[in-house]
Structure 1
Amino acid sequence: MTANSATDDVKASLGEAGSHLKSAAAAAGEALKGAAGAASDELRLGKANVKSELADSALAGISAAESGGAAAKEQMDALMDKGRDLIDSAADLIRERPLASFGVAFAAGWIIAKLARSGSKD
């Protein structure tokens, strides 16, 4: 081999290496562009899924609030019915035993009056 020939071989090899590096850089750039595009698409899809789940969560919360209001109304109606039943029961007892009822009411009033007077002396 001659010096010229060896130099030419080095130049050719370096040129080929440079060409491969240039191709590798171009391929890396394309890969990055593709990855960025895919990531952007995934991000858009993820954002849409998050919005959808948040909307579904809000709807479920509204539904729970509406159900809670209906449940509270049912409980209030049940309490009112029990109160009416208690008043009716007391009225029946007063009708059946008016003297005993008067005696109990009188005693309760007397005790309350005594407690009120002793509390005001302190």
Structure 2
Amino acid sequence: MTPTATDSMKSNLGEAGSHLKQAAGHAGDALKGAAGAAGEEMRLGKAQMKSELADGALAGLAAVEQAGAASREQVDALMDKGRDLIESASDLIRERPLASFGMAFAAGWIIAKLARSGDK
């Protein structure tokens, strides 16, 4: 018996359905593979990010430790400059006691005058 057009159509539709089913299976496999690869890339990226964050934290802690030492250096330098200034003022007072007394008196008088004018 010769196949009818309806039988041929059913056969072709069945074959097309079979191909579509296989294509869907392959697409699913491809998606699973892509998801697996993406998951692996995500795990690798996460590990690298954690490593960089840890290195950054260590560098930050080292900078904080150095900041303490740097501030001590600056305080020491300021203290040395202060001692030098006091020493030079002391030398000036020994060399010119009258001029030093006059300047101190004038500075006190100006400060007192300014303080009284602020009360008004």
TM-score range, shorter chain: 0.7 to 0.9
1:54 and 1:34 map into 2 onto residues whose CA distance is 30
Matched, 1:106 2:105: yes
Q: How far off is 1:9 after superposition?
A: 4.1
1:40 and 1:119 map into 2 onto residues whose CA distance is 74
2:118 and 2:27 map into 1 onto residues whose CA distance is 92
Aligned to 1:87: 86
Query: Can you list the C-alpha shifts for 1:42-61, whole angstroms capped at 9, x where unaligned?
Result: 11112222222222222222
Q: Which of 44-53 and 76-85 deviates more? A: 44-53
Which amino acid counterpart does residue 69 of structure 1 have in structure 2?
G
Q: How far off is 1:104 after superposition?
A: 1.8
Cα RMSD between the aligned structures? 2.2
Matched, 1:14 2:13: yes
Q: Which of 83-92 and 43-52 deviates more? A: 43-52
> Structure 2 regions of 5+ residues with no counterpart?
none
1:11 and 1:108 map into 2 onto residues whose CA distance is 115
| Aligned pairs, number | 120
> Structure 1 regions of 5+ residues with no counterpart?
none
Which amino acid counterpart does residue 49 of structure 1 have in structure 2?
Q
SS of the equivalent of 1:100 reads: helix
Query: Can you list the C-alpha shifts for 1:71-96, whole angstroms capped at 9, x where unaligned?
Result: 22211111111100000000111111
Q: How far off is 1:68 after superposition?
A: 2.1
Q: How far off is 1:112 after superposition?
A: 2.7
Which amino acid counterpart does residue 93 of structure 2 have in structure 1?
I
Which amino acid counterpart does residue 86 of structure 1 have in structure 2?
L
Structure-2-length-normalised TM-score: 0.81
Q: Which of 67-76 and 88-97 deviates more? A: 67-76
